[in-house]
Amino acid sequence: MTDGDRLTPERTALVLLAAGRSSRFGAADKLAADLFGRPLGLHVAATLAPLPFAARIAVCGGTAPDYAAHGFEMLFNPRAAEGASTSVALGVAAARTHGCDAVLIALADMPCVTTAHIQRLFDASDNANTVVASSDGVRLSPPALFSAAHFDTLASLSGDQGARDLIRSGRHIVTRADELIDIDTEADLAALHHITR
């Protein structure tokens, strides 16, 4: 990839983070919780299915939906309790093995992400140092797109902070707040049922 080139799904690995502890959700398996007849953790996987990613990688913890049935390479993260950074590192390592120019990092507990928004992230990529993150106009969040120039940085992160500093330094694509809802508690899930009905 050279400066001036736009990143494309065809050269990008989708890395879906699905190894979180879900401690605020209670005893239930958050990603298996029903949301309109489908497990919560499969919504973003199904939404992004039409995009022609070079690789689809799901980094999972002890339990997870069957991402393999949806075309994902499933990686188990034995260090998930140490924070999201360990899952990011596993995803980036897998993306390297596929020779990808970029990773799109998405969270399995964000069921309202749209393909239109993801395409806007790609449209905003314009060089070999691209970092493009999502925003609701107030806070920055995944999904976020990182070119291969940042793979070493992503692989060296620690704790649960993820790539916040890197995200702050990049471009930010604002979308509706309801597209970036992440489900942390049973109350969040109940509220989403209410909002979308």
Domain boundaries, the chain: 9-195
Least confident of 27-31, 94-98, 191-195: 191-195
Name the residue with tokens 């694509």. Answer: 173
What pLDDT digit, counting tens, does each position of 121-151 carry? 999 998 888 999 999 999 999 999 999 999 9
Topology given in CATH for the domain delimited by 9-195:
Spore Coat Polysaccharide Biosynthesis Protein SpsA; Chain A (3.90.550)
Total-model pTM: 0.90
Using pLDDT thresholds of 50, 70 and 90, give the confidence band for residue 1: very low
What pLDDT digit, counting tens, does each position of 63-108 carry? 768 999 999 999 999 998 888 899 999 999 999 999 999 999 999 9
- Cα distances (angstroms) measured from residue 118 to each of 60, 65, 126: 22, 22, 15
